[in-house]
Amino acid sequence: MVKNLVWTLVVVAGLFLANPSKGALGWTWDECQQHWGKPLLSETDSDGLFTANFEAQGLSIMVCLTDGKVVRVAYKPPHHEFTKGEIVTLQKANAISPSATWIFTRKDESTENYEWQLREDPNKTDFIAIAIFIVKMNAFVVATEADNQRAKMIRLSKISVQLKALNENLAKETTAPKILAVDPGASVSATTMRLRKAPTYENS
């Protein structure tokens, strides 16, 4: 009986690690609802990105879709800290290419965030997806490379607008305003991907 119990636990653990319902990158909107049910909310934001929040499998989940496909997904366990095993599971589930491998790329010393890239060739810097564990938020975010670049450009555009407005204000207040400039290579990092915190229900 003990052997049977041990075997059952091993099988269950194996199914959890391989469970495709833990994934999201590349899914359609219908697939999201098939796996996670009805969303808590969904909307199209000011940047034209369709987003939705779910509560499923013990996680708060936010997905972003472009052209009908999930290009970004954020997971957050509302009642416990992410474990290393759970992060590995989510990485495997979001490996959008069977021939690609998740490569640990860095730990940000200021934020303590961890970053991985999904690469077809581990020895090259080209990647098809990126993953970040945001330590202080206890959230795990994965995004396609194309969405990561899109987020950078949107962020850069917003910064440019803000700086332009600031320069205009300075011009009104001083006779010799300082000119602010944006360095496209340094202003935005992969860790600035937008993550909306899904609603939680403490008393439910």
DSSP 137-199: GTEEEEEEHHHHHHHHHHHHHHHHHHHHHHHHHHHHH-SSPPPP---TTTS--GGG---PPPP
The overall pTM is greater than 0.75? no
Residue scoring higher pLDDT (22 or 163) = 163
In-domain check, residue 159: no
- Ranges 79-93, 137-151, 161-175: which has the least confidence: 161-175
- Does residue 18 fall inside a structural domain? yes
In a domain? residue 88: yes
d(CA 59, CA 17) in angstroms, rounded, equals: 16
- How many structural domains does the chain have? 1
Instruction: Please check whether residue 177 lies inside any domain of the structure.
Output: no
Rg (CA), the chain: 20
CB burial readout 158-184, b (16+ within 10 A) else e: ebeeeeeeeeeeeeeeeeeeeeeeeee
Confirm whether 161 is domain-assigned: no
Distances (CA, A) of 2 to 6, 11, 16: 6, 14, 21
Which pLDDT value is given to residue 4?
39
**Extended beta strands in 67-138, E state:** 69-76, 101-107, 114-119, 129-134
Q: How far apart are the C-alpha atoms of 89 and 22, rounded to whole Å?
A: 8
Q: What digits encode the pLDDT tens for the residues 63-121?
A: 999 999 999 999 999 899 999 999 999 999 999 999 999 999 999 999 999 999 999 99
Reported confidence tier of residue 161, pLDDT bands at 50, 70, 90: low
Range of the domain at 35: 2-145
Residue 93 lies in a domain: yes
Residue 164 located in a structural domain: no
Residue 3 has pLDDT above 80, yes or no: no
- Is position 81 within any domain? yes
